[in-house]
Structure 1
Amino acid sequence: MDVLVELNRLVACSDGRLGTFVRQVCARTVGLPALPAEVSAGVSDADPAVAEFAEQFSVDVSMISDAQRERLREALGDRAFGAVVQMFIGDFVPRVRAGLAAVGVEVAWPDSIAWDHPGNAADALFNGFMPAVARLRSLDPVTSEVVRLRGAAQHNCRLCKSLRETTALDAGGSESLYDEIERFEGSGLLSEAQKAALRYVDALIWTPAHIDAEVAAGVRRYFTDEQAIELTLDVMRNAGNKIAVSLAADAPRVAEGTERYLLDANGQTVFG
């Protein structure tokens, strides 16, 4: 799958000691093996502030404080945004690998990595990986939107919570359905497959190192391997909101209510 090529491209984007350091911190924080790194992590004056930010980014991004943001910017200056992108890669690619392993989908991860210098991770993420995931179409659009909105709520992304995808609305999505996502276990509107997907979303976000066997079995029960890959990568794509939330850049586009958008055939977000 081309999208897995894009995922592996993220891993290859190198940022030297800083990239290595945040990969180790993020993975350790959630109890997963760290991504491969090009160099051994060194210790620098910036490490305490970066480590604190990376740990909170991984545990619960919605709880990052203004003081933590300020300390990160003081430590890294104009490298702060790039460091947060590296945190996202180091935080979420291990979750994807753990999730696919838990649901029994075999993926051949590369044994060796051709490191990308200087490694424009933001370009690889926003212009390569994310559109590639958005182009996938094996999941029905309502399930994809339910999954997106669950992640938006878990990370408390104000922007994401204010958006509604048009194709999903046209396919049967509605506010009454979406209102039940918060307490989905007791929902009479969400399907059993959608509930299984939501349990998996929660596991990837909160307990990626300990995905319950019943949660994994639910994914296998209702979704094909292709759909399970898309579901897992959807969670990661949606979790890109952690970058905006962590930097307090997640303000909604509308003051009240919600705004429609369309994921077009090229995987691009179109408003209007």
Structure 2
Amino acid sequence: MAAEIPVGVGLARLVAWSPDDGRVAGLVRQVCARTLSLPAAPCEVAVDEPESEAERAVAEFAEQFSADVSQISAEQRSGLLEQLGDSAFGAVVSIFIADFVPRVRAGLEALGIGSEYLGWARGPIRWNHAATEGPGVLFNDFLPAVARMRALDPVTSELVRLRGAAAHNCRLCKSLREGTALDAGGSDTLYDDVERFETSILLDDCAKAALRYTDALIWTPAHLAVDVAAEVRSRFSEAEAIELTFDIMRNASNKIAVSLGADEPRVEQGTERYLIGADGQTVFG
């Protein structure tokens, strides 16, 4: 069994992934940053504008991915696949990194915590050009490492997951319910209020603070209100607030499936229960 890596190490390895000649990673990091109005994740090769039909397809896809992944059109999807073929999936992983690393940085900086996770923003980076490295690090190392974090209570984690699922319109995520959260007091009655959480009488102030922060990182990360960040810091410990930030990124990996039209629900009706294993991997049945 491979050694489990910490969240910070996984994040740094994602930032350092610059496959092939680095042009696609450099292009999407600039496109996503402009879309989000945030500083770009570091890039080995700064590519401000596309120079080929393939790069134009990637840039258009990346812009919509960052702005609202649920609105990626069939034409944008087919255009990406037609131009990139088998390398399309790796490009979409690059886009996810370009899209969400700046959001995490903005969130942690607004909260005034987690500087140990942002070392890549301050020092030299040893770039990794292996074409398969990014997806492996993301799905086998980084996302499970986030799932292994246990500071935040499971019901809050599930509320945040469902808010992200609705924002990105991930059919798969909306069809699932995490078992530990259900055992800790979660229910569909409670979860139904996520859609209208501001007026909910079932969700407490901590849950509402977490959901406001979730919305801010998803929709307005460049304008993260001071009072939103301050409320999170006042209601959650430092470890909980860091986990909350990374939970939002982990949940947002659903954007990869949504963007490629691969987010089919696991059940046709109702929902399916699942668990997060000790290794951070999802366990069904």
Does TM, scored on the shorter chain, surpass 0.5? Answer: yes
Give the alignment partner of residue 67 of structure 1, picking from 71, 75, 98. Answer: 75
Bigger mean CA deviation after superposition, 69-78 or 168-177 = 69-78
Question: RMSD between aligned alpha carbons?
Answer: 1.1
Q: Who is 2:128 aligned against? A: 116
Q: Name which of 83, 96, 104 aligns with 2:104.
A: 96
On the 8 A contact 2:30/2:46 being kept in 1, the answer is no
Say whether 1:21 aligns with 2:21: no
1:84 counterpart letter in structure 2: V
The secondary structure found in structure 2 opposite 1:122 is: helix
1:45 deviation in Å?
2.8
CA distance in 1, matches of 2:84, 2:66: 19
Could you state the TM-score of these two structures normalised by the residue count of structure 1?
Answer: 0.98
Q: TM-score, normalised by structure 2?
A: 0.93
Does the Cα contact within 8 Å between 2:159 and 2:207 map onto a contact in 1? yes
Q: Is the aligned partner of 1:81 residue 2:93?
A: no
Are 1:30 and 2:39 matched, yes or no?
no
TM-superposition CA deviations, 1:30-62 (whole Å, max 9, x none): 101111111232623322211111000000000
Task: Work out which of the residue numbers 47, 50, 65 in structure 1 matches 2:55.
Answer: 47
Q: How many angstroms apart in 1 are the aligned matches of 2:199 and 2:9?
A: 38
- For residues 109-258 of structure 1, what are the structure 2 equivalents within 5 Å? 109-110=119-120, 111-119=123-131, 120-258=133-271
1:167 CA displacement: 0.2
Per the alignment, in what secondary structure is the counterpart of residue 9 of structure 1? Answer: helix
Letter in 2 for 1:62: S
Read off the aligned partner of 1:14 and give its amino acid letter.
Answer: S
The runs of at least 4 aligned residues of structure 1 exceeding 6 Å deviation read none
- Cα shift readout 1:142-188 (whole Å, capped 9, x = no counterpart): 00000000000000000000000000000000011000000001111
Secondary structure, in 3 states, of the residue corresponding to 1:113? coil
Identity of aligned residues (%): 66
Residue range with higher mean Cα deviation, 252-261 or 40-49:
40-49
CA distance in 2, matches of 1:102, 1:147: 19
Once the two structures are TM-superposed, the CA of residue 27 in structure 1 deviates from its matched residue by 1.1
Structure 1 residue 105: deviation in Å?
0.9
| SS state at 1:60 partner | helix
1: CA distance, partners of 2:169 / 2:94:
21
Distance 1:47 1:2 in 2: 33
1:8 aligns with 2:21: no
Q: Could you tell me whether the CA contact under 8 Å between 2:114 and 2:242 is conserved in 1?
A: no
Q: Which stretch of structure 1 is more off in the superposition, 24-33 or 106-115?
A: 106-115
For the residue of structure 1 that corresponds to 2:222, the secondary structure is coil
Instruction: Compute the displacement of 1:2 (Å).
Output: 1.8
* Secondary structure of 2:186's aligned partner: coil
1:106 Cα deviation from its structure 2 partner: 4.2
What is the DSSP-based 3-state SS (H/G/I as helix, E as strand, rest coil) of the residue aligned with 1:43?
A: coil
* 1:104 alignment partner AA: G
Gaps of 5+ in 1: none
State the secondary structure of the residue aligned to 1:139: coil
Report the CA distance between 1:116 and its aligned residue.
1.4
How many pairs does the alignment contain? Answer: 272
Give distance in 2, aligned partners of 1:271 and 1:78. Answer: 29
Q: In the alignment, what sits opposite 2:66?
A: 58
